[in-house]
Amino acid sequence: MSTHVEEISGHGPGIPTFAKVWAALLAMTAIEVFLAYMQTPMMIMLTVLLGLSVIKAALIIAYFMHLKFERLSLFLTLFPMLIFCIVLMLIFLGDAYRIPMMRPPV
Amino acid sequence: MSTHVTTAATGSLWEGGRSPYLTNSKKFGMWLFIISDSLTFSAMLFAYTYSRVSNPDWPTPFHFSPSIIFSSVMTFALLTSSLTMVMAVHSMNRGNRAAAARWLLATMAAGATFVGLHLTEWMNLINHEHITAFGNEWGVPQFGGTFFAITGLHMTHVVIGLIYLGVICQAVMRGKFKAEDVEVAGLYWHFVDLVWMFVFPLVYLMSARV
């Protein structure tokens, strides 16, 4: 047993909030699996899956990773740069669409 | 550790001598690592997307049973491990080390379940669908290359997380380490969960076959 007094941080969400976030994440995953089972058309599927993934990621970051309860400056230091870099990668995606048309016929 | 408490002094937080983020350096360091690791995974998922778009014959090897059911259970295990990790941090913040250690062990059990199921799923793909990192029946080797690289790197993160949590857990049991150390380990563990929230839909569900 520890004899020293632990630091106690009182702020932040409680157990009911964590349970709700967990249930929401599971529900969104269930919707995703259901869409896959229904063989939803590719573009609708991709749009919905990406949308749900971003919402799930936001929930995990905000509540489980506690970022919602940190200073705004921490969020502003970390995330705009990350999103900008990810968007930059997408510049190349147009090339991928052209590649199938550039292949010589077999 | 109360060096970062703000004083009522005038002036900006950014003038030096104080932590502008009001967080300890370990946590900030872990956040920086997480951001850089997110870029690694983003680049790999982008490579997957690029290969997929440029290959119209992209394989769809994941039968609903067993692959999608397996990976859904894996997702459940990982999401639940995040909840138990949050509970470990919560217990530790309240000074209850015994409970924190139990929650950490539960987190590790869920993580180990994930790795076990994932390896089973890999073996199923290799033995029954004849997909390796270098080729498959669809004639699109990029599938195996990107699939095994992404899921393999993710699994490596889970295994490292298990070791990390094991170290934290035994220290918590012996009365060492502080609440912030458990919280930093939690950040890493949630990040591993976060990555899977993109890998599971993009890699598994988009290639599902009923």
pLDDT value, residue B11: 65
Which runs of E-coded beta strand occur in chain A? none
Q: How far apart are CA A81 and CA A95, in angstroms?
A: 24
**Domain total for chain B?**
1
Provide the H-helix boundaries in chain B.
Answer: 25-53, 69-93, 97-128, 141-173, 179-199
What pLDDT score was predicted for residue B2? 46
The span from the CA of B79 to the CA of B196, in Å, is 9
Tell me the mean pLDDT in the region A19-45: 95
Q: Is position B19 within any domain?
A: no
Please say if the pLDDT value at position A3 is more than 80.
no
B198 with A61: Cβ contact below 8 A: no
Answer whether A100 sits within 8 Å of B39, measured CB to CB.
Answer: no
Residue B128 lies in a domain: yes
pLDDT in tens, B108-119: 999 999 999 999
Domain CATH code at residue B114: 1.20.120.80
Range of the domain at B99: 24-209
What is the residue extent of each domain of chain A?
A: 15-102
Q: Is the pLDDT of residue A9 over 80?
A: no
pTM of the model: 0.89
C-alpha dihedral over B171, B114, B160, B149, to 10 degrees? -170
Provide the pLDDT for residue A11: 61
Q: Which of A7, A29, A96 has its CB closest to that of B50?
A: A96
Instruction: Verify whether the Cβ–Cβ distance B42 to A85 is below 8 Å.
Output: yes
Q: Which residues contact B42 (CB under 8 A, 6 or more apart)?
A: A85, A86, A89
Per-residue pLDDT tens digits for A33-71: 999 999 999 999 999 999 999 999 999 999 999 999 999
Residue B14 in any domain: the answer is no
Q: Determine, yes or no, domain membership for B42.
A: yes
Which pLDDT score is estimated for A65? Answer: 94
pLDDT of residue B10: 55
How would residue A7 be classed by pLDDT, with cut points 50, 70 and 90?
A: very low
149-208 in B: which are within 8 Å (CB) of A? 175, 178-180, 183, 186-187, 190-191, 193-194, 197-198, 200-202, 204-206, 208
pLDDT in tens, chain B (210 residues): 444 444 444 567 777 777 788 888 999 999 999 999 999 999 999 999 999 999 988 999 999 988 999 999 999 999 999 999 999 999 999 999 999 999 999 999 999 999 999 999 999 999 998 999 898 888 899 999 999 999 999 999 999 999 999 999 999 999 999 999 999 999 999 999 999 999 999 999 999 988
Q: Give the model's pLDDT for residue B16.
A: 74
Tens of pLDDT along A66-100?
Answer: 999 999 999 999 999 999 999 999 998 989 999 88
Question: How far apart are the CA of B125 and the nearest CA of chain A, in angstroms?
Answer: 19
Chain A residues with CB-CB distance to B43 below 8 A = 89
Compute the distance between CA of residue B137 and CA of residue B139 in angstroms, rounded to an integer: 5
Residue B193 lies in a domain: yes
Residue B137 lies in a domain: yes
Statement: residue A5 has pLDDT above 50: no
Pick the range with the lowest mean pLDDT from A11-20, A28-37, B74-83.
A11-20
What is the count of residue pairs from A and B with beta carbons less than 8 Å apart? Answer: 155
**B78 inside domain:** yes
Q: Which of B1, B76, B201 sits opposite A49 (nearest CB)?
A: B201
User: What CA–CA distance (Å, rounded) separates B62 from B202?
Assistant: 12
| Residue type (1 letter), B161 | G
State whether ipTM is beyond 0.85. yes
